[in-house]
Amino acid sequence: MSASDTPAISCQNVWQVFGPNADSALKEALSQHKTASDVSEALRAQGLVPAVQDANFEVKEGELFVIMGLSGSGKSTLIRCISHLLHATHGEIRIEGEDIVSASKARLIELRRKTLGMVFQHFGLFPHMTVADNVAYPLRVQGIKRKVRRAKAQEVIELVGLAGREDHYPRELSGGQRQRVGIARSLVTDCSVWFLDEPFSALDPLIRRQLQDEFLDIQNKLKTTIVFITHDINEALKLADRIAIMRDGKIVQIGTPADIVLNPVDDYAREFSKDVAKGRHANVASVMLSPENHAYGADDPGLRRDMTLDAALARCMDLYEPVPVRDRDGSLVGVINPADLAAALQVEADHE
Amino acid sequence: MAATGLGLVLLSGYWPQGMNTLALVAVSVPLALVAGGLIGILANEFPRFRAPVQAMLDVMQTGPTFAYLTPLLVLFGFGPVVGLIASAIYAAPPMARNVLLGLQRVEPEVKEAAVMSGGTRMQQLFQVEIPAAKVQIMVGVNQCLMAALSMVIIAAVIGGFDDIGWEVLLTMRKAQFGNAMLAGSVIVIFSTLIDRMSGTLAQDRRRLWDARVAYGILALGAAVSLACWSALPDAGSYQLLDPVAVALDGWLTDFTRANADLLTSFKNGIMFYVLLPLRIGLDQAILPFTWGFQWTTTMSFWFFAAAALAAVALALRGQLTLGLVVLIAAGILETGVSQLPWPLVLVGTGALAWVAGGRRLALLSVVLLASILVSGLWERALLSLYLSGASVFACAVLGGGIGLLSAVSPMAWRVVRPICDMLQTIPLFVFLIPVLMVFQIGEFSAFLAIIAYAIVPMIRYTRQGLVATPEEMIEAATASGATGWQMMRDVRAPYAAPTILLGLNQTILYAFAMLVIAALIGTTGLGQSIYLALGQADVGLGISAGAAMAILALIADRMVQGFAEERKRALGLEV
């Protein structure tokens, strides 16, 4: 991650309200009520739909930010506000420091051509264009010459593993291949902010996993800032640097995958991580204690701070005393009680 | 609304005639509903019948309305019976079509659930499939009613029955346009009422009022009529609106007189610069009298050279077909449609049909066209082709433009939509009145009437196609950075192409249907032959001219459908 001061994306008090005269109704409600939930209440009473309520977050450059929630929770609406496919009713959205809510039409087109890329759930491919033409379309609208755009399209087509299918039509491809086309199209302009709206949800589980892996490879190569939408907690945990959980238009929790799994803020967030094998997603660092105040026993099973709980537990199966956690270079960074390791996996049971 | 409409009818003094018309409709519609419904169900039950039934329905609907009348005339003589039977025949196909469509569209899982519930075939059909297809079937009922009304009015041409169509025809012949307009508006009121009433049936019914209220009103009406039976004046004696008719006549005369120059120049402009060249070719249409100079051989040469250049340029850019089309169009413009050499037409149609629908369609087209050739109606057929071609072309350009505008601006659609609704509920016949009032009898009036009627589907389908582009494709284009115009050109228009082609197809069929009616006000093609045959009860001529007309419509229909299906397949849509 770069140390740049301006976040790649920042959202402040973003609201998206649907319904007649949403603009003025929201303005009035905001002036009358203090908390977001009161405002939403007032809007709902008027028959309006507050699809996104007071969203606040920042995405750092190069970060993979996942927004997760059930269908109807407002996550697709939120991503459309950020990519400005919808005009946010209220709030400030900055991309690389530039306010896009008040950006002119021409500037938005410019931004979309140069900076932003988007992948859609149902691919959004143009059925009357070949794979190559689909991928090259963002270049075509910029008036780039056919030869140049073909060459550039070829590059990304190879990147997503579709070489040899340039002249096929979308209808001749499988679902997974179609989404590869969608991904290639969003990458062809070398975008620096990449939006993916449930890109793998319409695919079979096997294909989904394969594409997730390839997606991570591509991300490792390109290091773009990513906003990724999903309703699948496993997908979120696998991909995300940070996760935001949405419910009924509100962001209820933002945190690292381990945070989300180990410290869910409420029942809704807990419900999500219920079926997750926590030991695979949380690491030792999230449960260890600081070495200053805690003594530890003679055994040293060789725990590292970035080990998963499962791996750590396997090493101290028959130990009862607290054990040290060390860095790669061997220096002491923490202390952990094997009983806590087991307990961390049982978060669920404790609360029930 | 219904009360106001019928009140107007009463005041106009056309009450008895109107009721006669409704009586005819009331008798013919049940016939058509039962026949059409049965045909639809049978075609659904026995897939073997589907293809022939479909072909039969096509012929019944593309066949010109007048052509039905002649054979019936011979069998039953003049009088209302003929109109009755003709309208039943004409109204059955839409019913059959919609029943079949509705039954086929029932979800397979619903049908399977019915089978697994252990219903017999009859139980499945009547307890599950037909109720599930109800909405589509009600659309059929609506179309059936409209078709019947329209046909009953057309059938008035053979007269012998004192109905509203006859009244329109009579007043039109006497050039009493005010009265014709009045009688015409009675028809419009009827058709609007029938359309709205049966149209709401097709939508999902919400109970607005208790049914008891409706029965109450009905009972009250019956009681009042009974009580005052003897006191009521004869409905035909109301003539309150007659002054309106007279005023209208007067105003019209003033209007045409005042704007005579403008109207004539408008008419002549289109006649000289568009219609005539198409009909008899640049070669003969350009005279010092019309264009101000004489068309010479040198000009022909340059004209062709320019067309050839354009064709070559297109061919070089990979648009070979388009280049050929340009060349052919130039040829047609030079000689005129009505004087095209027949071998050229046969070969050209065959080639086009081959491209559109393969060898079978090509063969069918050529054989059918050849049958027109040997029937001796060739020249008339070409004249019909020219007039409908010109109007279809005008419809495509105008309608496409209006459709595009309506797709882009919701405001425009709000204005255009009620006009389209109105144009579609008016029976064909009534279109003739206003054009006739302003432009007198002649080809130009026919041209206008055809456009007015046939433009509607073009507008509707163009808009529908453009608006129906999937949201995600639009978002994808937006996210790619496309401007509004780029989106229209690259995404929405290509996606809408098959729908627009279907609109063109409807427009062609509408134009042919109207062509025959337009014969009443002076065209020279097949329509006139059919009309003449009707007058003389000449079954042979009537049938052969009708068949020729149906053939033209059928070929055009199949070709455009072929193109539309090809485009659909190219888009990966279900065909």
pLDDT-based confidence at residue A66 (cuts at 50, 70, 90) = very high
CATH superfamily of B376-571: MetI-like (1.10.3720.10)
Q: What's the pLDDT at B159?
A: 58
Residue B235 has pLDDT above 80, yes or no: no
Tell me the shortest Cα–Cα distance from A126 to chain B, in angstroms.
7
- Domain over B2-230+237-257 is classified CATH 1.10.3720.10: yes
What is the per-residue pLDDT across B64-100, written as a single tens digit (0 to 9) for each? 666 666 666 666 666 667 777 777 888 888 888 888 8
Say if the Cβ atoms of A83 and B479 lie within 8 Å. yes
3-state secondary structure B254-307: HHHHHCHHHHHHHHHHHHHHHHHHHHHHHHHHCCCCCCCCCCCHHHHHHHHHHH
Which chain B residues are within 8 Å of A173, Cβ to Cβ? none
User: Interface pTM (ipTM) of the complex?
Assistant: 0.71
Interface test with B, best of A81, A85, A108, A167 (most B CBs within 10 A): A85
pLDDT digits (tens, 9 = 90+) for A192-212: 899 999 999 888 888 889 899
Q: Which of A221, A216, A223 is nearest to A200 (CA)?
A: A216
Which residues in chain A are contacts of B497 at CB distance < 8 A?
128
**Secondary structure element (H or E) that encloses residue B99, with its range:** helix B80-105
- CA B139, CA B199: separation in Å to the nearest integer? 7
CA distances from B477 to B213, B220, B489 (A): 54, 61, 11
A171 CA: distance to closest CA in chain B (Å): 5
Using the predicted structure, report yes or no on whether residue B424 has a pLDDT greater than 80.
no
State yes or no: pLDDT of B238 exceeds 60. no
Q: On the CB side of A100, how many CA atoms lie within 13 Å of its CA? A: 27
Residues of B in contact with A169 (CB under 8 A): 570, 572
> Tell me: the pLDDT tens digits for B85-142?
777 888 888 888 888 888 887 777 777 777 777 677 777 777 778 877 887 888 888 8
Residue B398: C-alpha distances to residues B402, B403, B507 (Å) = 6, 8, 12
DSSP state at residue A264:
-
pLDDT at residue A64 is higher than 90: yes
Which tokens belong to A305? 């701070």
Domain layout of chain B by residue ranges: 2-230+237-257, 376-571
Report the percent of chain A where pLDDT is more than 70: 96
Instruction: Out of B478, B482, B494, name the one closest to residue A85 (CB).
Output: B478
CB-count exposure of residue B119 (10 Å: 0-12, 13-18, 19+): middle
Q: Which of A82, A137, A227, A229 has the highest number of chain B CBs within 10 A, making it the mutation to test binding with B?
A: A137
Chain A interface, best mutation among B317, B474, B480, B500, by max A CB count within 10 A? B480
Within 8 A of A112 by CB-CB distance, chain B residues are 478-481
Asked if B293 and B277 touch (Cβ cutoff 8 Å), the reply is: no
> Residue A45's Cα: distance from chain center in Å?
32
**Is pLDDT above 90 for A229?**
yes
From residue B533, give the alpha-carbon distance in Å to each of A287, B88, B284, B377: 98, 22, 31, 13
The three-point CA angle A136-A142-A145 to 5° equals 65
Mean pLDDT of chain B: 76
pLDDT band at A181 (very low <50, low <70, confident <90, very high): very high
d(CA B22, CA B197): 14
Chain-chain contact of A118 with B572 (C-beta, under 8 angstroms): no
pLDDT of residue A196: 92
**B230 pLDDT more than 70:** no
Contacts A–B by Cβ distance under 8 A: 78
pLDDT bracket for residue A1 (50, 70, 90): very low
User: What Å distances lie between residue B112 and A208, B128, B137, CA to CA?
Assistant: 32, 10, 21
> How close A116 comes to chain B (CA, Å)?
7
**CB contact A346 to B (< 8 Å):** no
- C-beta atoms of A113 and B570 within 8 A: no
**In the beta sheet, which residues pair with residue A251?**
A246
Q: Give residue A352's pLDDT.
A: 38
pLDDT, one tens digit per residue, over B452-498 is: 888 988 998 898 888 888 888 888 888 888 888 888 888 888 888 88
Mean residue pLDDT of chain A comes to: 85
For chain A, positions 44-63, list CB contacts with chain B under 8 A: none
Asked if the C-beta of A153 comes within 8 angstroms of chain B's C-beta atoms, the answer is: no
Phi/psi at A91 (5° precision): 115, 180
Residue whose structure tokens are 């696998």: A238
With an 8 Å Cβ cutoff, is B204 touching chain A?
no
Q: Which residues contact B279 (CB under 8 A, 6 or more apart)?
A: B285, B336, B337, B338, B383, B386, B390
Q: Per-residue pLDDT tens for B344-403?
A: 777 878 877 887 777 888 888 888 888 887 777 777 888 888 888 888 888 999 999 999
* pLDDT of res. A212: 92
User: Distance between CA A19 and CA A39 in Å, rounded?
Assistant: 15
Q: Which residues of B touch A195 (CB under 8 A)?
A: 479
Q: Per-residue confidence at B418, pLDDT binned at 50, 70, 90?
A: confident
Q: Given this model, what pLDDT does residue A78 score?
A: 93
Which of chain B's residues have a Cβ under 8 Å away from the Cβ of A117?
479
Measured CA to CA in angstroms, residue A200 lies from A85, A123, A229, B412, B429 at distances of: 20, 10, 10, 40, 57
What's CA B548's distance to the chain center, in Å? 18
User: What pLDDT does residue B7 have?
Assistant: 65
Q: Is A87 on the interface with B (CB under 8 A)?
A: no
Q: Among B30-44, B123-137, B250-264, name the one with the lowest average pLDDT.
A: B250-264
Distance of CA A36 to the CA centre of its chain: 23
- Closest by CA position to B488, among listed B477, B504, B501, B503: B477
- Interface contact A341, partner B, CB < 8 A: no
Strand order of the β-sheet with A332-336 is A303-304, A323-326, A332-336
For residue B194, is pLDDT > 60?
Answer: yes
Q: Which residue did the predictor score with more confidence, B412 or B125?
A: B412
Is residue A112 less than 8 Å (CB to CB) from chain B? yes
On the question of pLDDT at B148 being above 50, the answer is yes
Mean pLDDT for B44-58 is 80
Task: Please give the domain boundaries of chain A with CATH numbers for all domains.
Answer: 59-89+104-274 (3.40.50.300), 279-351 (3.90.1280.20)
Query: Which positions in chain A touch B477 (Cβ < 8 Å)?
Result: 126, 137, 141
In chain B, what percentage of residues exceed pLDDT 90? 1
Structure tokens belonging to residue B477: 């284009």
Question: Is B493 at the interface with chain A, CB within 8 A?
Answer: no
Max mean pLDDT among A6-10, B516-520, B553-557 falls in A6-10
Token duo for residue B203: 């939508």
Q: Which of B486, B495, B571 sits opposite A141 (nearest CB)?
A: B486
Chain B environment of A170 (Cβ under 8 Å): 572
Instruction: Report residue B534 as tokens.
Output: 């009707």
Best mutation target among A84, A120, A191, A193 (most B Cβ atoms within 10 Å) is: A120
Residues in chain B: 575
- Considering A47-51, B292-296, B373-377, B519-523, the range whose residues carry the highest mean pLDDT is A47-51
Predicted confidence band at A2 (pLDDT cuts at 50, 70, 90)? very low
Buried b or exposed e, range A180-195, using 16+ CB within 10 angstroms: bbbbbbbbbbebbbbb
Cross-chain CB nearest to B475 (options A85, A117, A142): A85
Mean of pLDDT values over A259-286? 78
Contacts of B572 by beta carbon, 8 Å cutoff, 6+ apart: A127, A169, A170, A171
B379 touches chain A (CB under 8 A): no
- Residue B492 carries which DSSP code? I
Q: How far is A73 from chain B (nearest CA, A)?
A: 19
Sorted by sequence, the CB contacts under 8 Å of residue A2 that are 6+ apart come out as A60, A61, A62
Q: Which residue has the higher pLDDT, A176 or B436?
A: A176
Name which of A109, A156, A193 to mutate to probe chain B: the one with the most chain B Cβ atoms within 10 A of its Cβ.
A109
pLDDT score for A94: 92
- Which secondary-structure segment (H or E) carries B214? helix B211-227
Chain B neighbors of A138, CB-CB under 8 A: 480-481
What is the rounded average pLDDT of the residues A320-333? 81
User: How would you class A142 by CB atoms within 10 Å of its CB: exposed for 0-12, middle for 13-18, buried for 19 or more?
Assistant: middle
Percent of chain B topping pLDDT 70: 75
User: Would the CB atoms of A109 and B475 count as touching at under 8 Å?
Assistant: no
Instruction: Check residue A92 and give its pLDDT.
Output: 92
B361 vs B366: CA distance, rounded Å:
9
Please state whether beta strands A193-197 and A116-119 pair in parallel, antiparallel, or not at all (unpaired). Answer: parallel
Cβ-Cβ contacts under 8 Å, A120 against chain B? 472, 475-476
Residues B531 and B66 sit within 8 Å (Cβ to Cβ): yes
Query: How many other CB atoms are there within 10 angstroms of residue B232's CB atom?
Result: 10
Concatenated DSSP letters of B125-138: IIIIIHHHTHHHHH
Whether A126 has its CB under 8 Å from any CB of chain B: the answer is: yes
Do B490 and A137 make contact, defined as CB atoms within 8 angstroms? yes
**Closest residue of B to A106, CA-based?**
B483
CA-to-CA dists, residue B106 to B118, B122, B126, B136, B202, angstroms: 18, 16, 13, 10, 16
Which pLDDT belongs to residue A342?
77
The phi and psi torsions of B42 (rounded to 5 degrees) equal -60, -45
Beta bridge partners of B497: none
Amino acid B440 reads: Q
Question: Which of A77, A113, A73 lies closest to A93 in space, CA to CA?
Answer: A77
Which of A85, A142, A169 has the CB atom closest to B481's CB atom?
A: A142
